[in-house]
Amino acid sequence: MLKQLKRPFQYKKIPLQLDEKVSLGKKAKSKDMGATLKRIWTFLSYNKSLLFLVLLMVLISSALALLGPFLVGVAIDEYIVTRNSDGFITLLAGLAVIYVFHSLSLWFQNYWMIGIAQETVFTMRTKLFRHLHKLPIPFFDKRQQGELMSRVTNDIENVSSTLNSSVIQVFSSLLTLIGTISVMLWLSPLLTLITLIIVPLMFLGMKWITKRTGKLFKEQQKNLGELNGFIEETISGQRIIKTFSQEKKVIAEFHEKGEKLRRAGFWAQTYSGFIPKLMNVLNNLSFAIIAGIGGIFALNGMISIGVIVIFTEYSRQFTRPLNDLANQFNTLLSAIAGAERVFDIMDEEEEFKNEKDLKELSHIKGEVEFCNVSFSYEEDGNTVRNVNLHVKAGQTAAFVGPTGAGKTTMVNLLSRFYERDTGSILIDGQDISLVKKESLRKNMGFVLQDSFLFRGTVRENIRYGRLEASDEEVEKAAKLANAHSFIMKLPQQYDTVLSQDGSGISQGQKQLLSIARAFLANPGILILDEATSSIDTVTELKIQDALQELMKGRTSFVIAHRLNTIQNADKIFVLEEGCIIEEGTHESLLIHEGFYYQLHGKAAVGAHA
Ligand SMILES: Nc1ncnc2c1ncn2[C@@H]1O[C@H](COP(=O)(O)OP(=O)(O)OP(=O)(O)O)[C@@H](O)[C@H]1O
């Protein structure tokens, strides 16, 4: 297998059948290109005044680019052919001034356009990032992190580089084209029409090429996103990969995804590379037509030598913008592919939309009720079925049951990370679907199994619970969470910088920090997802002790994985396949000798084994 992986770039292995090449892009969804361009334009037009200046410079440079060759023709007909030197120097000086101003206008349009492009991309990226953080959890369930990251970075970068070059190019090419054809028509309509023979040829060629490249560019961006997603996933899952010795499998998968990207990239570049070649051939063809037919016209006295010189110069100016437009079209296609992927995310509905008229949930006592609640992650599933429960303010409730029974889902519904399908959930008698989600979550604190730490100091990580908390409050919370003593042993105590996954501290210490966070947040309802990972006994006792302290006086929901930690709970709900099958205190459930009794028996056997 490794031998196969190590094989170098396999140019010859790429199939050459056209159908297959094009089918690379067949999966890409075709969208309305015009609508995407319009949306890019709305971002561009935030800088209207600067854009106006750029367009003015484009207009000036295009006009000067037309004037130059025209004056050269005049110089030939009026001064060189007639051997007249009066005013020749003035004409040359005029030409020099024209070319200097032409260069200046090019420089300014470029300078301002870079500014516009950078700002546009900054706005777009900020908007996208802000929007991403307003999307609901189910949105993230369906997507790979790296793939999303690729949209915020690569796809937007793609739009940026195109804006930098394309806007000016497209406008200047269009203006030059219109100006050139107008002057050519004015000088010799017949020769112009003959020269324009290449235009339909060009359009046919372009159509053939862009039909293929558009799809391929989309495929390329999609493959790049997938590859990034895979890289992100495998880097964050390094430990698991190493634990299960799956390096070869991961490399093979990477190779496969890389190969797909390479193929799409290869064909996208190959087809787009045809455009300049095609334009070059057509350019030479138009040059030959003008020289040949123009020469015949000149011999017959229909046009002057100066006009032929102007025409040959203009023919270059006329095919160059067409060439530029064609090239820009390719870049534009790639940018549109990127922009579509960005707008796809922007079009996802925000979580807090339509909440304007809803009430804030504040100063709750913590009474919680589930009335006939049902929910399913998938359309045809049944994860939570007709659940009814009542927990009084300040009580501790525990969810127990086999894996996949729906314990986590219950708290997901309470915090509205997911919306119940039917029934209602009440806090202090208020239906939570009628309150603002943000205010609901502000009243809830989470201590999860996998306590996520951000890159930053210990202090910053605890302060995440309440950003405005003072240093004293942070330390007080750490003391309550039994975290203070281990923090003081860290190299820079509260200022010790933790890496993103908190790799410098133990799993148990991470839990203590997340308990400190919850103390600082001081929520009305607490959700505890018990750690299943093995934590040393001393730290575990510290965690249990801190949690008992944290739960005091507030409603708490414990997702219990070990039954010994919830024996003091006021209510234990036993779940099986999304239904509450038993409910009571530890003692009453044991007396009942039902499912809980069996679970408890198994746990006891497990503990003794
Ligand atoms: N985001 C999701 N999308 C689709 N199905 C999901 C999702 N999250 C959970 N499920 C499914 O819903 C069911 C209940 O899952 P849940 O996480 O609530 O179980 P649990 O009792 O907390 O399990 P565990 O003890 O293993 O954590 C399971 O069958 C699970 O596969």
pLDDT in tens, 53-79: 888 998 898 888 888 888 888 888 777
Average pLDDT over residues 579-605: 83
Position 565 pLDDT exceeds 80: no
593 contacts: CB under 8 Å, gap ≥ 6: none
Question: Selecting from 3.40.50.2300, 1.20.1440.120, 1.20.1560.10, 1.10.3720.10, what CATH number does the domain 34-346 have?
Answer: 1.20.1560.10
Query: Does the Cβ of 404 fall within 6 Å of ligand 1?
Result: yes
Q: Which residue in this structure is represented by tokens 């009942």?
A: 592
Best residue among 142, 379, 385, 408 to mutate for probing ligand 1, ranked by most atoms within 8 Å of CB: 408
**Is residue 503 exposed (0-12), middle (13-18) or buried (19+ Cβ within 10 Å)?**
exposed
User: How many Cβ atoms are within 10 Å of 190's Cβ, its own excluded?
Assistant: 12
Domain ranges of the chain: 34-346, 358-443+557-609
560, 566 contact by CB (below 8 A): yes
Q: What is 358-443+557-609's CATH topology?
A: Rossmann fold (3.40.50)
Give the tens place of pLDDT for each residue, 186-233.
Answer: 888 888 888 787 778 877 887 788 778 778 888 888 888 888 888 888
CA nearest to 557, candidates 418, 445, 406: 445
Contacts of 511 (CB under 8 A, 6+ apart): 447, 451, 531, 535, 539, 543
Look up tokens 């023709």; give the residue. Answer: 73
Output the DSSP codes for 124-162: HHHHHHHHHTTS-HHHHHTS-HHHHHHIIIIIHHHHHHH
Ligand 1, from 140, 141, 374, 377: best to mutate by most atoms within 8 Å of Cβ?
377
CB 250: neighbour CB atoms within 10 A?
15
Give the pLDDT confidence score for residue 387 in this predicted structure: 92
Question: Could you report the predicted ipTM of this complex, rounded to two decimals?
Answer: 0.97
Closest CA to 188 of 314, 311, 317, 321: 311
Ligand 1: does its nearest atom lie under 6 Å from the Cβ of 430? Answer: no
Residue whose Cα lies nearest atom 13 of ligand 1: it is 404
Mean pLDDT confidence for 486-493: 89
| pLDDT score at 301 | 80
CA dist 340 to 140, 162, 195, 382, Å? 19, 14, 38, 35
Cβ atoms 326, 207 nearer than 8 A: no
- Fold match flag (34-346 vs 358-443+557-609): no
- Kindly report the pTM of this predicted structure: 0.69
Element (H, E) at 424: strand 422-427
**Of the listed ranges 80-84, 226-230, 288-292, 421-425, the one predicted with least confidence:** 80-84
What spacing in Å lies between the alpha carbon of 376 and ligand 1's midpoint? 10
Which atom of ligand 1 is nearest the CA belonging to 575? 21
- Cα–Cα distance for residue pair 13/546, rounded to 1 Å: 62
